[in-house]
Amino acid sequence: MPVQNKSTCATVEDRIKVAVRVRPLNSRETTGGWPLILKKKRNCVTLTANNTLHRDNATKDKNKFQFDHVFWSLESPDESGGEPVGQAEVYATIGRPLVAHAFNGFNSCLFAYGQTGSGKTYTMMGADPNAIGGADAGVTPRLCLELFQMRERIEAEGHSKWSVEVGYIEVYNERVSDLLAKRKKGSKEEVFVDVREHPTRGVFIEGQELREVSSLDEVLGLIEAGNRVRHTAATKMNDRSSRSHAIFMLLLREERSMQTATGQTITTAGKNSRMNLVDLAGSERVAQSEVVGQQFSEARHINLSLTTLGRVIDMLADMTKNKDSQWSMPPYRESKLTFLLKDSLGGNSKTFMIATVSPSAMNYEETLSTLRYASRARDIVNVTKVNENPRALRIRELEEQMEQMRKDIQGKDPAYVAELEEKLRLLEAEAQKRAADLQALEREREKNEIHEKMLRATEAERQELLSRAGALERQVEESRRQAEYHERANQRLKEEHAQRERELLEQMRRREDEMERIRRRKEAEVMSGQEQLRKTMEDLERERRDREEALRVLGVWKEELNAALSDSRQSQEQREELERQNAQLADRMRQLESEREAQQRLLHELELLRDEHESLQRAVMLLRTEVEEMDQRHDRTTYHLLAVMELHAECYEAVLARLGVEHEHQLNQNAQWDADERAALERRNEEGLAERDSALSALQEALAECQRRLDESETAEEKLRVAYEALEKEKGGIYENMKLLQQAKTEVEQSLEAVTSERDELRENLLSLKKDYDFVVKSCARLRVDMSLADLEHQDELARLRIDRDAITAELRRAFGKLNASEVRLKYLRSLCKSARLGGSAESGEDYQVTRSVLAMRKT
């Protein structure tokens, strides 16, 4: 069951899902003995390079690629121990989500990409493209089977019916051919169609044959018929090589039904979606496939289109990753293939890509190129949205709101229940009015078609058509009565809406007045803040001058201290103390200098804040002017829309009146016919037919004019809605600017508080500096006193030293006198010793004692 999206108008970014399928080895690769170059572990593929492409050469390089899914179809298990993957597992992973997306109203695309002979057609169609049923069936037949099964389940609920149409085309030599177009039996003639682009519908194929189908057998028959006329050929690389790109299209349309209060069933259009299943022709190297002649030309066109596809993928991936990319628009129109896939690559589509590769070293270059393109495609982001008629979307939203209100009514307060019931009746009236308008337009179209057939039919057919026209006339009358009833209900709703709109306008006016008062108050606060800021800046300037004066005085003191240090002959300890105090004063001066620089920066920031506030005020004035202009444009658009709606109602009534007169005139003529006057009446009938032709032409012109005016009114209504949304956005922008102004005011207040705190801190620093100054003055006084005391002590010490020096000098003089006397005595003793040697040794002991005493005296 598809998931119902409530926000169907919203767009969703969806990345392209990429899967890789590794096919088994074929006979050429097996007999050639080529080694395997691919390894798979979970969703990661590792490609091992064989640089010389010889079987005996050792591998050197490895490339790792990450994908959303990796299908390992070789007979041997992968590195994770997984078993080989078959067709059913491939479809369950990449095919089943496409069915759910289709019934949810999303466009989708699945395309297979890879070299020739890598298994693209086998994956998309199956083992035998001309007999695609069975266990080896590809993604396309399995998807069609599940699509019809899901359609039966949805239609069994009774709310909607789905129709399915298919188309099948191929791109051969840069020309698009319709494979389902009518051909002579057994003929393979080409029926070419043109590819065009509509501003709103996007890319479409002009003249394509679309077949409505109701069962899987019909789809399989059409696929087989298309495959029989598709271009294929045998090459050295592939026995059945696709020589063209094939696109199988599935178009789904929903028809919803609803029950009115009178029991009538009304059917309206619902969602629609498109599914493209693309089987690309394989890229090939001419040297390997060895094609010549026509096949060479086919290979050249195939490679050119695939090269363009690769360039588109590279540009889209680069534009997704880098918003400042040098590319602005990929080259979709350089190839018919990329032009057809424009919505699938970077557009409104949920896209799946399956890259098929060979695991053999024989195809290393092609495998590496395929994996690189697949990895790049994984970076592309599409913007998807639900495809649904706006009126049908509105009806469905009203139904959902009514269903939600019915649920809310149960077990609620009676007053609240009454209010919800009133809203429910209004919503039902609006839904029935819209549904009745749609049904009336459909019946009017059918009636016009029947009138055209009546003018060309025979008498018997005319009678039958007249009866049907009468029935349709009654139905139109009934629809007209319902439309009038719903018109009255809609008028009542419009009046209520106008009343609510007036109330909202009054609320907006009051809110704007309040905003104006707030703006004025904020401006006054800002002006007062600016005045306070100016005073603060003046105070800071005065403090800065005082600080500079204090710094100058400190500099003078520093010079005096330096002079005192150089002039004084104080002790080493006192000099070190003075140098330490001098260093402290220098640090304090540097700190004051840094504080002054910080104050200058703060003043500069305050100037910047003032400039920013002035720019915000100018922006507010510009926004207010733009809002007034938008109000004027809104009033003019509303007046124009009302005039167009009145003109449309007058034209509609005139057309209905003219149809009634023509129909009554025809009935009167038919009642007056007589058998005898049949020939004359037939001649008059021919004249009446001519007149009716002209009347029908005039009616068609009037209807076209009404439709044109209706389109103009819808366009004007859409423009009005866009203008209203733009006005709402601008109002939101004004509110955001007011918030920014409030934030700026808060920041200014915070800055003012910071400046105030900084000023207080500077005052404290100034007081501290004054205290330091007083302390320095006292220290200098103490130093002067200490220096005076030191000088006195120094003089006293010098006097004492002089006295000690004089005493020591006198003592030394006495000692030298004694020494001289001792030397004289010593000489005398020596002379005695000499005489004693001659006289005997009796007196030697006494002379010895005398000599020792003399030596001791000299030592002293």
Return binding residues for ATP.
Answer: 114-121
Three-state secondary-structure class, residue 56: coil
- CA–CA–CA angle 558, 562, 568 (5° rounding): 140
How many CB atoms lie under 10 A from the CB of residue 298? 22
- Name 295's Cβ contacts closer than 8 Å, sequence gap at least 6: 233, 235, 243, 289
HEC sequence for 361-384: HHHHHHHHHHHHHHHHHCCCEEEE
Q: CB–CB of 175/270 below 8 Å? A: no
Residue-wise over 116-139: b if at least 16 C-beta within 10 A, else e?
bbbbbbbbbbbeebeebeeeebbb
How many CB atoms lie under 10 A from the CB of residue 403? 11
| Count of residues making up the chain | 860
Cα-flanking dihedrals φ and ψ of residue 291, to 5°?
-95, 150
| Cα distance between residue 271 and residue 257, in whole Å | 13
From residue 778, give the alpha-carbon distance in Å to each of 550, 577, 774, 782: 17, 15, 6, 6
| Cα distance between residue 701 and residue 698, in whole Å | 5
If you compute the radius of gyration of the chain from its CA atoms, what whole number of angstroms results? Answer: 53
Q: Which helix (H) or strand (E) holds 249?
A: strand 245-259
- Name 43's Cβ contacts closer than 8 Å, sequence gap at least 6: 66, 67, 68, 69, 70
Q: Which helix (H) or strand (E) holds 196?
A: strand 192-198
Three-state secondary-structure class, residue 331: coil
How many CB atoms lie under 10 A from the CB of residue 159? 14
Q: Which helix (H) or strand (E) holds 512?
A: helix 459-567
Phi-psi region of 284 (alpha: psi -120 to 50; beta: other; left: phi over 0): beta
Cα-flanking dihedrals φ and ψ of residue 158, to 5°?
85, 5
Q: CB–CB of 51/417 below 8 Å? A: no
Q: Say if strands 265-279 and 245-259 run parallel, antiparallel, or are unpaired.
A: antiparallel
Specify binding-site residues.
114-121
| Cα distance between residue 194 and residue 200, in whole Å | 18
Give the sign of the dihedral formed by CA 213, CA 216, CA 217, CA 221. positive
Long-range contact pairs involving 45-49 (C-beta distance under 8 Å, separation at least 24): 45/20, 45/70, 45/371, 47/364, 47/367, 47/368, 47/371, 49/364, 49/368
Q: Say if strands 17-22 and 350-357 run parallel, antiparallel, or are unpaired.
A: parallel
Q: CB–CB of 335/305 below 8 Å? A: yes
Tokens of 153: 């389940």
Three-state secondary-structure class, residue 326: coil
| Cα distance between residue 640 and residue 716, in whole Å | 8
Q: CB–CB of 372/317 below 8 Å? A: no
